[in-house]
Amino acid sequence: MKKKLTAAIIDEIKTPLTGQVETYDEEIAGLAIRVSKGGTRVWTLKYRSTGGVQRRLKLGDYPRMTVAQARREAARIKLQVRVGNDPAADRDAKRAEKTLRELIEECLSDSRARKLAPHTIEVQTSNAKNVDSRLLSKPISSITLRDIEAMHHRLSEHRIDDRGLRRGGHYAANNTVRFLRDAFNKAISWGWMPDANPCKNIKLHREPKREEFLSVEQIAAVNRALMEEPDWRWRAYFPLVLMTGTRKSELLRARWEHVDFKERIIRIPRTKSGKPLRLPYGDAAAAIIENLPSRGDSEWLFPSKLSRTGYTTSPDDAWQRIRKRAGIPTARPHDLRHTLASQMRLSGYDLKIISDQLNHADIGTTARYANVSLDSRREAAIKMEQHMGFSAQLAAIDDMREHATPPILEESAHKDTEPDAMQILRDSQVG
């Protein structure tokens, strides 16, 4: 049915009992008012693209869009079609475009599919949590440089979360932008968006190299703070990191099958450097390892009921409360590794022994030296335990199996799990 549409005519169109009815305008070919059984009135335009495909495009709701406005919009779109554009196809493509949430989920899935190192995936997951939740539902091509700049600025400010933990800062802001820059580069290479990365020209903060290490007095303060720690995992974990120099995730992923009690060696099959590590340990470390409550009860040295992996995945929350009690508020878990290296160097140990103990991949540092035996490294480990004040009767770990307490269930689930990517992004909030 065709009529010269007016407001009065549209208002008189009866609402159908089922389906919908369309009344076309005599003045603009293809322009119609569609009335549904619920009484909704919508302007539509039917046209053929330059390729001959029939299209239908919704213009707006009546009466919000008046008759005159509908005719002007229809005329504008028909002009676009004449010059080769196809607004309906553009609309469909926009609807099919990936959101930032979907892009991040795909990137995390891709990392898992390519079996990247667990530490790498853990870092990517942590950065994904920092992405501004207000951007997650936006189509990726609509995200601008200003959006990323605003997010970078917000993340740069330190804040205290609802659990009283310190979040944000320059490093967190920079790492989140780097993560998104890589994600957008993947989107471009996958053909999901034009070659216009909104993170490309973000000015990152300067990042001074952080080389903090603990003094012998601070080590003693950490040991005293560990005595007050209710979770046996952390009472054992932090002294072991300090005595062995492992990276924080390497020891957490250790299984009991990796421990050789006779030779006093922990075998770490996969490390950040790409080299497997055979890690000798001394008397104090042996006293801790042999008395861990998980021995005989779990495949992991440091199990977790909260983690999908079965093992504890992050010491960060626990370390924040321990370092606070110890009075060293700026120290990080990685600084325990620095501490062992610095104490070994101050004690006169050869760089090759230190490098092998820490499993460094820097060939420039290690290639000049001959191989060092496990016995030499074990001797160094024992001496460093004594030098830093540890012994087989380490107070914080004494009678650990007998006095073990259950893991702290209030420990952050997102810190102690390998989370589902979609859930991370749904829960993500940036102030």
| Final residue in a domain of this structure, among 161, 189, 208 | 208
Query: Do residues 372 and 227 both lie within one domain?
Result: yes
Report the run of H or E that residue 269 belongs to, with start and end.
none
The range of the structural domain enclosing residue 81 comes to: 2-96
Query: Do residues 396 and 345 both lie within one domain?
Result: yes
pLDDT (tens digit, 9 = 90+) per residue, 355-381?
666 666 553 433 332 334 455 556 666
This prediction has a pTM of: 0.50
Residue 36 within any structural domain of the chain: yes
Q: Which of 2, 40, 4, 1 is nearest to 19 (CA)?
A: 40
The CA distance from 285 to 385, in Å, is 8
- Stretch 264-285: mean pLDDT, rounded? 79
- Stretch 305-331: mean pLDDT, rounded? 85
Residue 428 within any structural domain of the chain: no
The β-bridge relationship of strands 2-3 and 20-25 is parallel
Residue 224 within any structural domain of the chain: yes
Q: Residue 9: which CATH number?
A: 3.30.160.390
Contact (CB, 8 A) for 266 and 254: yes
pLDDT (tens digit, 9 = 90+) per residue, 126-181?
899 999 999 999 989 889 999 999 999 999 886 655 555 556 788 889 999 999 99
For residue 374, the model assigns a pLDDT of 56
pLDDT (tens digit, 9 = 90+) per residue, 200-239?
889 998 876 665 677 778 888 888 888 888 899 999 988 8
pLDDT (tens digit, 9 = 90+) per residue, 228-256?
888 999 999 888 888 887 877 888 889 99
Query: Do residues 90 and 112 both lie within one domain?
Result: no
For residue 356, the model assigns a pLDDT of 67
Query: Do residues 267 and 385 both lie within one domain?
Result: yes
pLDDT (tens digit, 9 = 90+) per residue, 322-341?
888 889 877 787 777 777 77
100 band by pLDDT with thresholds 50, 70 and 90: very high
Contact (CB, 8 A) for 320 and 165: yes
The CA distance from 56 to 30, in Å, is 9
Query: Do residues 247 and 377 both lie within one domain?
Result: yes
| Final residue in a domain of this structure, among 208, 243, 278 | 208
Q: Residue 127: which CATH number?
A: 1.10.150.130
Query: Do residues 227 and 183 both lie within one domain?
Result: no
Q: Is the pLDDT of residue 94 over 50?
A: yes
For residue 205, the model assigns a pLDDT of 85
- Total structural domains within the chain: 3
| Final residue in a domain of this structure, among 96, 119, 136 | 96
